[in-house]
Amino acid sequence: MSKTKTRSPWAWIPSLYFAEGIPYVVVMTVAVIMYKKLGISNTDIALYTSWLYLPWVIKPFWSPIVDIVKSKRWWIVSMQLLIGAGLAGVAFTVPTTFFFQSTLAFFWLLAFSSATHDIAADGFYMYGMDSNKQAYFIGIRSTFYRLAMITGQGLLIILAGYFETTKLFGNTENNIPLAWSLTFYILAAGFLLFCVYHKFALPYPKEDEDREVKSFSSVFEDFAETFVSFFMKKDILKIVGLLLVYRLGESQLVKMASPFLLDPKEVGGLGLSTGDVGLVYGTIGIIFLTLGGLLGGYLASKNGLKYWFWPMVIAINLPNLVYVYLSYALPESFFLICASVAVEQFGYGFGFTAYMLYQIYVSEGKHKTAHFAFCTGLMALGMMLPGMISGWLQELLGYQHFFIWVMICTIPSFIMIKLIDIDPKFGIKTGKDEK
């Protein structure tokens, strides 16, 4: 059987980027909700799940290995197999007495496999199509990545919530571990199907098979050059500062949002069910986040990053006030809770656009791909470090004062925006660009 060097991108782009999004959302969001339902404290949830950002923080440092060992295609299929095995490992160990330690170990496997899969998939995207098709399918890949977010944060959580309240195999008590175990078994089976499908569906582009294979020493010499050139950029301290603090408030809010929605009202939460959280935060929230991102991208292309930076930093920070309101009002209205989360997520999606555009702006130059990877690593670090202490702070302060603290943490981002300088023309589409 001959190896197909080209194939319709519709045969693999949607499934590849859907598969890329699932393990990320499982590690970052689904794990938080699962541990909350299994009785783990907010302090431990925030600390240990924030550590799982580490593979994305250090991803730029092992990306050269993916470039010189095997093909991107091989890495994609292999990582999908590992991700499926990791999901099955979580499913197998959830019902055990040592579930916290064992599931964390499998989540680490998922995190490293997912980060490596990201490197390979993004590289393969450039090998598998010409530049015109790459531009055309950039929206398609983003859409299916968002669908993975909805599936992970929404449909999977709703499914787990259904299993929690349903008699499973005659079991009428303590359905929660069994419910989550079954949910992860279904997810593992689905991911193994992705692995098999991509084994046959991905093309064999010539650039991926026959590219020049460099020695480790030459690759790491190139890496050292790109690393030094990044940290020699003009105003690098301001750049790093903004990358680390732009989401300082959001980095803590995102870890405690689901526990707040799930905790009973006696301890300051809203007392929602697992299924309700899947609908509010994982479905409605993601839809409005996507709408905010689409609007942000459209407006930034019209007037440029500099014009929209202040409105976008306001948009990503001020809507966090809805959690201050929710923690004090503890509303009974499910519609009001949904509307509040929708406002916060829409603002987040709109404001995040400026953050991504700024990373592209900073990365401009000879080593733009590698420099963008450094930016995303710093972004992940900015999420990991504050997130680690967010659970401890919440339990120390209570939800009401914690959300006020989150608002205080938005101040550094406004200060850094004031300090940086951006070319007013950056991000504006021109006739020359479109041609």
Rg for the chain, CA atoms, rounded: 22
DSSP state for residue 318 in the 8-state scheme: G
pLDDT in tens, 145-170: 878 888 888 889 999 988 888 876 66
- pLDDT for the residue 136: 62
Q: What is the pLDDT of residues 249-290, one digit of tens each?
A: 999 999 999 999 999 999 999 999 989 998 888 788 888 888
Q: Tell me how far apart the terminal alpha carbons of the chain are, to the nearest angstrom.
A: 40
The answer to whether residue 217 scores a pLDDT higher than 60 is yes
Q: Is the pLDDT of residue 138 over 70?
A: no
Quick check: helix, strand or coil at residue 339?
A: helix
In this structure, of 21-35, 59-73, 199-213, 311-325, the range with the lowest mean pLDDT score is: 199-213
Domain 231-425 top-level CATH class: mainly alpha
Across all residues in the chain, what is the average pLDDT?
Answer: 85
Q: What is the pTM (predicted TM-score) of this model? A: 0.84
Mean pLDDT highest for which of 3-7, 62-66, 106-110, 375-379? 106-110
Output the pLDDT for position 170: 62
- Cα gap 321→319, rounded to integer Å: 5
* Ramachandran assignment for 162, one of left (phi > 0), alpha (psi -120 to 50 degrees), beta (any other): alpha
Do 198 and 76 form a contact (C-beta atoms < 8 A)? yes
Per-residue pLDDT averaged across 210-228, rounded?
A: 68
User: Residue 281's pLDDT is what?
Assistant: 83
pLDDT surpasses 60 at 131: no
Residue (of 134, 46, 102) closest to 387 by Cα position: 46
pLDDT, one tens digit per residue, over 114-125 is: 999 988 887 787
Q: How confident is the model at residue 1 (pLDDT cuts 50, 70, 90)?
A: very low
Which is more confident, 64 or 175? 175
Assign domain 8-205 to its CATH superfamily. MFS general substrate transporter like domains (1.20.1250.20)
The domains spanning 8-205 and 231-425 adopt the same CATH topology: yes
Query: Tokens in use for 113?
Result: 């496999």
Per-residue pLDDT, 432? 43
Domain ranges within the chain, ordered by starting residue: 8-205, 231-425
User: pLDDT tens across 174-204, in order?
Assistant: 688 999 999 999 999 999 999 999 998 888 8
Residues 345-377 have pLDDT tens digits of: 899 888 888 888 888 788 777 777 678 788 888
Q: Report the 10 Å Cβ neighbour count for 425.
A: 10
Confidence (pLDDT) at 137: 67
| Lowest mean pLDDT segment, chosen from 56-70, 249-263, 285-299 | 56-70
Residue range 49-61: average pLDDT?
90
In the block, residue with structure tokens 């030094």: 228
Q: What is the mean pLDDT of residues 210-234?
A: 73
Task: Give the rounded percent of residues in the chain with a pLDDT score beyond 70.
Answer: 88
Distance from C-alpha of 43 to C-alpha of 388, rounded to nearest angstrom: 8
